[in-house]
Amino acid sequence: MKIFLDTANLESIKKFNDMGLLDGITTNPSLMSKEKGNPKDAMEEITKIIKGDVSLEVVSTEFSGMIEEGKRLRQYGENVVVKVPMTPDGLKACKSLSSEGIPVNVTLVFSPNQALLAAKSGAKYVSPFIGRLDDIGQDGMNLIQDIKEIFQNYPHLKTEILVASVRHPMHVVEAAKIGADVVTLPPGVLDKMLEHPLTKIGLDNFLKDWEKVKAENPDIKI
């Protein structure tokens, strides 16, 4: 399963990319608004740091505006994927951009029907928002399971399932067990995935024991 970071924060992107963990980036206008500086500079820098796909989102809600913005966003790099909303105009834009060789990520998907239609329109990625479904008392992972089953029934559909609105590490585990293609997560969740109390306890014990060895052998080196 590929891991994308859901952020526009350059410090976080560089941190996790240096660990070799990132296969791509997803952004949106809300994430861009949280960062200082010119969003254009941030988008340009992100596409240089990350070799994998970088989803940059249009802000227009009508077809012609999406096409214009999508083509402009694509100029930031060959790894740019244009993100459009799951609306009639969004699907129309998806079909048009995809037919020109511009990959598209259809976002704000909340049902299997929407995912199927996005795939039919030529989307490279479909982004179901599981956390927001959990927030209203539904089980977001059921949506991932349904989409996975549908896509497996029709191998000609090459659309990848990009699990979005991830709230905690177990969302990642559950998505991986189902077989989602991609999970995009905020830096805080990826930080939590790195941690386990037994790892810290084990490391502390190793270092404590090594100090004893050094006390008895002052000149020892590894």
Catalytic residue among 36, 83, 200, 221: 83
How large is the angle between the packed helices 187-194 and 10-18, nearest 10 degrees?
30
64: left (phi over 0), alpha (psi -120 to 50) or beta: alpha
Tokens of 47: 């596409």
Cα(115)–Cα(109) distance, rounded to whole angstroms?
6
Which regions of the chain does DSSP assign to beta strands (E)?
A: 2-6, 24-26, 53-57, 80-85, 104-109, 125-128, 160-163, 182-185
15 in catalytic set: no
Instruction: Please give the Cα distance from 88 to 29 (Å, whole number).
Output: 20
Residue type, 185: L
Q: What are phi and psi of 216, to 5 degrees?
A: -85, -20
Active-site residue numbers? 83
